[in-house]
Amino acid sequence: GAVVSQHPSRVICKSGTSVKIECRSLDFQATTMFWYRQFPKQSLMLMATSNEGSKATYEQGVEKDKFLINHASLTLSTLTVTSAHPEDSSFYICSARDRRPLGTEAFFGQGTRLTVV
């Protein structure tokens, strides 16, 4: 199947700093990428939908100034957690959908475990 690479897999940062997470589709082009957040023992909650070349669409309750999303190319989207605080500690997962007409599956990155101390 298609491969989505997410980097880094784990990061520990100090409170007040910013962290950038990258999501790459390695063998397909993705016009749309999605960013999810997952708290321990909970389901995935969609944070935002990232469209190549345009502004991201954020879900209700997600601060767009805190979670900056950039989708500069058909293979790369980034999520920057700005001025991170301990409550931002979570598991962040991206997914990408192949742009081909029959590409209905969404493929997921391996996730990024963010710990803010």
Partner 1 sequence: GEDVEQSLFLSVREGDSSVINCTYTDSSSTYLYWYKQEPGAGLQLLTYIFSNMDMKQDQRLTVLLNKKDKHLSLRIADTQTGDSAIYFCAEPLGSARQLTFGSGTQLTVLP
Binding site for partner 1 (CB under 8 A): 1, 6, 32, 34, 42-44, 46, 49, 51, 57, 93, 95, 97, 104-111, 113
Distance CA 33, CA 76 (A): 9
Q: Which is nearer to partner 1, 5 or 82 (CB)?
A: 5
Instruction: Tell me the closest approach of the beta carbon of residue 83 to partner 1, in angstroms.
Output: 26
Structure tokens at 27: 């063998």
Q: What is the DSSP letter of 59?
A: P
Instruction: Tell me the closest approach of the beta carbon of residue 68 to partner 1, in angstroms.
Output: 19
Instruction: Tell me the closest approach of the beta carbon of residue 65 to partner 1, in angstroms.
Output: 21
CA separation, residue 30 to residues 13, 56, 95 (Å): 29, 14, 9
Q: Which is nearer to partner 1, 35 or 81 (CB)?
A: 35
Among 108, 72, 89, 94, smallest CA distance to 21 is for: 94
Q: Which is nearer to partner 1, 46 or 68 (CB)?
A: 46
